[in-house]
Amino acid sequence: MLIVMEQDSSPEQLEAVCARIRAMGFTPHPIPGAHRTAIGITGNAGPLDPREFVVLPGVKEAIAVSRPYKLVSRETHPEASVVEVGGVKVGAGHFAVIAGPCSVESRAQILEAARAARRAGAHMLRGGAFKPRTSPYAFQGLGREGLELLAEARAETGLPVVTEALDLRSLEQVLTFADCVQIGARNMQNFALLREVGRARKPVLLKRGMSATIEELLMAAEYVLSEGNREVILCERGVRTFANHARNTLDVAAVPAIRRLSHLPVLVDPSHAAGVRHLVGPLALAGVAAGADGLLVEIHPQPEQALSDGPQALRPPDFEALMRQVAAVRQALVA
């Protein structure tokens, strides 16, 4: 159920409706809009009777929400949301590129990558300090030292930092350093972690699980919003299919499909979809053409020496060329 308040309704009327919802045993979620405030309701098992609410002073209408996800739905929030990460806006026409290495490996490596990202016009810096690796013997990330190096790279370049939290323990550390917490594909349905980032006051970059449907991705985002954190950016990073010419299959259709269902910004990660360098550029451009609000791209000053995901990392000059092509595609979209 979505309660839409009259444009001239008072804060007291809004609070009275919220109090009524709480008295019924449910949770009200006020959603301020450009013209009027709406209130989402969660916690109800079945449909609610709109007549209970339309009689309350200041209420314009009560609309039944048909989707299982409510707060992330376009039905409850028709305007596209803007998420701000360290002063950089994403969504509703604000396009942002997050670039950096898969993992933070050394001071020299992350500083060089950050400078290359900045030079090419990226808006944020990525780099994993806690890495989800298929093999327990593979490089697992520098941990806290990696976070400190990211902070140093941010201080030098001014780029806000996006980095992954693997579990509740690393989340605590990530929250003290990062501007945006990445929840990786393997953790998309780690509900305890989703609830915890939902309680945090930091933007979240939520990646689609490699076999997750759009609905499952949106339900995962709903966990975060339902805890009070509305700053969620979604990310399509490719899904598992029978195709073996790429690491994953970039689901380009997911971008317009998500935009139709949800107000949250959507990024495309061409790197983890591609797995190999030569596919990264074309997939990035396809994502932009499909309407993505930005990109998440892995770059590395010396990909052959990378400790993770080297084969898919763009070298700085290739990334610069890609950024020019991205600008051209974006220009073509407004024409």
Binding site residues, ligand PEP, CB under 6 A: 102, 128, 132, 184-186, 207, 237, 272
Q: Which of 309, 314, 319, 326 binds Mn ion (CB under 5 A)?
A: 309
Angle at 126 between CA 161 and CA 308, to 5 degrees: 145
Binding at 184: pick from Mn ion, ligand PEP, none (beta carbon under 5-8 Å per type): ligand PEP
Cβ-based nearer residue to ligand PEP, 50 or 132: 132
Piece of the chain touching Mn ion by CB under 5 A; list 60-68, 136-144, 157-165, 303-311: 303-311
- The answer to the question of residue 102 lying near Mn ion (CB under 5 A) is yes
Distance in Å, CB of 185 to ligand PEP, minimum: 4
Distance in Å, CB of 72 to ligand PEP, minimum: 19
- The answer to the question of residue 179 lying near Mn ion (CB under 5 A) is no
Distance in Å, CB of 272 to ligand PEP, minimum: 4
Cβ-based nearer residue to ligand PEP, 77 or 237: 237
Q: 270: which residues sit within 8 A by CB, 6+ positions away?
A: 250, 279, 280, 281, 282, 283, 284, 286, 287, 295, 297
Short-list 153, 132, 139, CA closest to 105: 139
| Residue number of the CB atom closest to ligand PEP | 184
Cα dihedral angle (110, 115, 118, 122), rounded to 10 degrees?
A: -30
Distance in Å, CB of 230 to ligand PEP, minimum: 22
Own/partner pairs, 290-293, CB within 8 angstroms, 24+ separation: 290/252, 290/253, 290/255, 290/256, 291/255, 291/256, 291/259, 291/266, 291/333, 292/236, 292/255, 292/266, 292/267, 292/268, 293/90, 293/91, 293/92, 293/94, 293/95, 293/96, 293/233, 293/265, 293/266, 293/267
Q: Indicate the DSSP class of residue 34.
A: S
Distance in Å, CB of 174 to ligand PEP, minimum: 13
Cβ-based nearer residue to Mn ion, 98 or 218: 98
Distance in Å, CB of 132 to ligand PEP, minimum: 6
* Strand pairing category for 2-5 and 59-63: antiparallel
- The answer to the question of residue 99 lying near Mn ion (CB under 5 A) is no
Q: Indicate the DSSP class of residue 228.
A: T
Binding at 263: pick from ligand PEP, Mn ion, none (beta carbon under 5-8 Å per type): none
Q: Give the binding-site size for Mn ion (rule: CB under 5 A).
A: 2
| Residue ranges binding Mn ion (CB under 5 A) | 102, 309
